[in-house]
Amino acid sequence: MTMDELKPKQSAYIRSVGGTGALRHHLLDMGLTPKTEVTLQKIAPMGDPVQIELRGYELTLRLDEAQKITVEKVHTKAEKMHGTRRA
């Protein structure tokens, strides 16, 4: 499965990063490395680009870039609680 096939709020682990030359190097430099967990946050209204969360930051990728990233172990993460609970 490739990253562009994820649905919003689905998470997965990067298995491999495809592409060649400068594009592949650029994807790796942005932190898209094997075994990194990514979560698809949003898809733009026209379907391109997509917003993902990884390593504590958000990143926007074009669909053709997301298609070059193979993912595995698709899952849904529990939502984080924001704020503090008061008794």
Total Cβ atoms within 10 A of residue 36: 15
Exposure of 47 by Cβ count < 10 A (0-12 exposed, 13-18 middle, 19+ buried)?
exposed
Q: Specify the pTM.
A: 0.82
Give residue-wise pLDDT tens across range 14-40.
Answer: 999 998 899 999 999 999 999 999 999
> What is the residue-averaged pLDDT of the chain?
89
What is 3-76's CATH superfamily?
A: Ferrous iron transport protein A (FeoA) (2.30.30.90)
Identify which of 1, 2, 8 has the alpha carbon closest to the alpha carbon of residue 76: 8
